Amino acid sequence: MALAQKNRKIKFQFKICIVLLTSLFLASSYLRSQQQPQKVEDLISLIKEKSGLEVELEDIGWQWRDEDTKGTEEKGEATFADAKWLMYLIHWGPIQVEEITVDYVKERMLKMWGVVFEFSGQEGRTKMAGHDAAWVEAYGTNKMFYSRYIIWNCPQSGREFIADTNYNIRAKTPKHEFETEMRSARTVQCHPEAQVELFPDLTNRFESEKYGFAFYYPERWFMFDSPFYVPFPEYDGIRNRKMGSLLGLCSDRGIKVTLKWAQRDESQDEEQVMGIQQKLMESLINEIKSYADVENIQNHGMENFTVDDKKITRIWGSCQFKEPENENERQFYTGKGIYQVAQWNLEKKKIMVILTTKQFRYGSAVSSPVRSFLDEFLKDFIPRIH
């Protein structure tokens, strides 16, 4: 009787995890319009038609509405947002087989989630923390996402480890995000003496006495106990050193960009207070205060810096967003977020960029948007506007 109840519980957890897994990959779909990612060339053409500006954009699944690009060459704006999504899972549990092979990895993949995988032919053997490992790549759910599973045994701790790495290709998530998952997996210290690789972009360290291992991951991710079931037959609902599962998601998803242009007013160039133009400071703060979905702001600072000989003035801070009308969005977002507003002159035009990122929740965890995400994006974006 107890065994039957346990099996029913595991099956129920499995069904729940399939629902969660599917909803997680589909999450970006309802954030704007449940449509397929549009062609970035169309967005570039639309901006050029309205503004006369040449804007270089990587094809990373930008989403927009045509009506959000408006105005004339003299004055106007364009708004768009990214929809990237990845899932990084680390599972651990009792050793299942003596030798990890490519065929074993495939078998594990097919049984773990109930996903119909289409194996891509990319597979092989490697070393993880000094242990022999095997890896396999495959497309999942009608090529909505792409996965790489790396599995190895750690005899010192008596555990099998699974690095379950995935990225949403339908949302055009950049492939370098997927490779970051692989690098993070290579830092897993599955036993205290394990020698692992280190990477300069993986600055955050997860270390748990309860779970008995450690690894590094990038600042733009947040890690938490996976709400999915732990994929081992011995799992009874208790997570500890013997068995468990962690999930990592990216906090910097859904960066919303508003690009604004207007005729340059050269009379403002000489009005300065402590090196920062007074009218410009007021203008930047008013811009974010009047942003359509922002309720209120807390400005944290302002600065001048230079990119490609362009003098940029920027403010940054945190904000509270207005409650969305869409029920799914109300459940997904916490209402908190961060922003930046920057302005500079480009020949006869005044250019302004407004960036926002919303904090979202998944299960009991919440994302951790920080200023560095927007710093990095802005410094890359400025030289792409001509």
Over the stretch 331-350, which tens digit does the pLDDT of each residue have? 999 999 999 999 999 999 99
Predicted pLDDT of residue 61: 84
Asked whether the predicted pLDDT for residue 6 surpasses 90, the reply is no
Contact between 227 and 363 under an 8 Å Cβ cutoff? The reply is yes
Of 4-13, 172-181, 182-191, 264-273, the one with minimum mean pLDDT is 4-13
Share of the chain above pLDDT 70, in %: 87
Contact between 151 and 108 under an 8 Å Cβ cutoff? The reply is yes
Predicted pLDDT of residue 83: 81
Report the C-alpha gap between 217 and 198 in whole angstroms.
10
Contact between 259 and 351 under an 8 Å Cβ cutoff? The reply is yes
Return the SS3 of 340: strand
Mean pLDDT, residues 290-317 taken together: 95
Asked whether the predicted pLDDT for residue 56 surpasses 90, the reply is yes
Asked whether the predicted pLDDT for residue 316 surpasses 70, the reply is yes
Mean pLDDT, rounded, of the chain: 89
Structure tokens at 3: 């065994």
CA dist list (Å): 81 to 61, 153, 256, 258, 288: 8, 41, 4, 9, 17
Top-ranked range on mean pLDDT: pick from 49-63, 149-163, 358-372: 149-163
Q: Which single residue is written with the structure tokens 């989630």?
A: 113
Asked whether the predicted pLDDT for residue 35 surpasses 70, the reply is no
Report the C-alpha gap between 73 and 290 in whole angstroms.
23
Contact between 164 and 248 under an 8 Å Cβ cutoff? The reply is no
pTM > 0.95: yes or no? no
Number of H helices, E strands in the chain: 7, 17
Asked whether the predicted pLDDT for residue 356 surpasses 90, the reply is yes
Contact between 268 and 280 under an 8 Å Cβ cutoff? The reply is yes
Predicted pLDDT of residue 36: 58
Report the C-alpha gap between 183 and 174 in whole angstroms.
15
Contacts of 27 (CB under 8 A, 6+ apart): 85, 332
Q: Choose among 32, 66, 60, 62: nearest CA to 46.
A: 66
Predicted pLDDT of residue 312: 95
Predicted pLDDT of residue 90: 98
Contact between 33 and 63 under an 8 Å Cβ cutoff? The reply is yes
Report the C-alpha gap between 253 and 101 in whole angstroms.
35
Asked whether the predicted pLDDT for residue 19 surpasses 80, the reply is no
Predicted pLDDT of residue 267: 59
Asked whether the predicted pLDDT for residue 5 surpasses 70, the reply is no
User: Residue 123's beta-bridge partner residues?
Assistant: 136
Predicted pLDDT of residue 12: 41
Q: Which domains does the chain have, with CATH numbers?
A: 2-26+85-250 (3.40.1000), 37-82+253-384 (3.40.1000)
Share of the chain above pLDDT 90, in %: 77
Summarised one tens digit per residue, pLDDT across range 237-270 is 999 999 999 999 999 988 999 999 999 876 555 5
pLDDT confidence of 2, banded at 50, 70, 90? very low
Predicted pLDDT of residue 289: 96
Predicted pLDDT of residue 279: 78
Asked whether the predicted pLDDT for residue 7 surpasses 60, the reply is no
User: Residue 126's beta-bridge partner residues?
Assistant: 133
Contacts of 232 (CB under 8 A, 6+ apart): 91, 93, 94, 96, 160, 243
pLDDT confidence of 60, banded at 50, 70, 90? confident
Mean pLDDT, residues 314-320 taken together: 97
Return the SS3 of 240: coil
Asked whether the predicted pLDDT for residue 147 surpasses 80, the reply is yes
Structure tokens at 234: 């011995």
- Radius of gyration for the chain, computed over Cα atoms and rounded to the nearest angstrom: 24
Return the SS3 of 49: helix
Predicted pLDDT of residue 64: 93
Report the C-alpha gap between 338 and 354 in whole angstroms.
11
Asked whether the predicted pLDDT for residue 117 surpasses 50, the reply is yes
Q: Which single residue is written with the structure tokens 């068995």?
A: 243
Q: Is 88 exposed, middle or buried (0-12, 13-18, 19+ CB in 10 A)?
A: buried
Contact between 157 and 241 under an 8 Å Cβ cutoff? The reply is yes
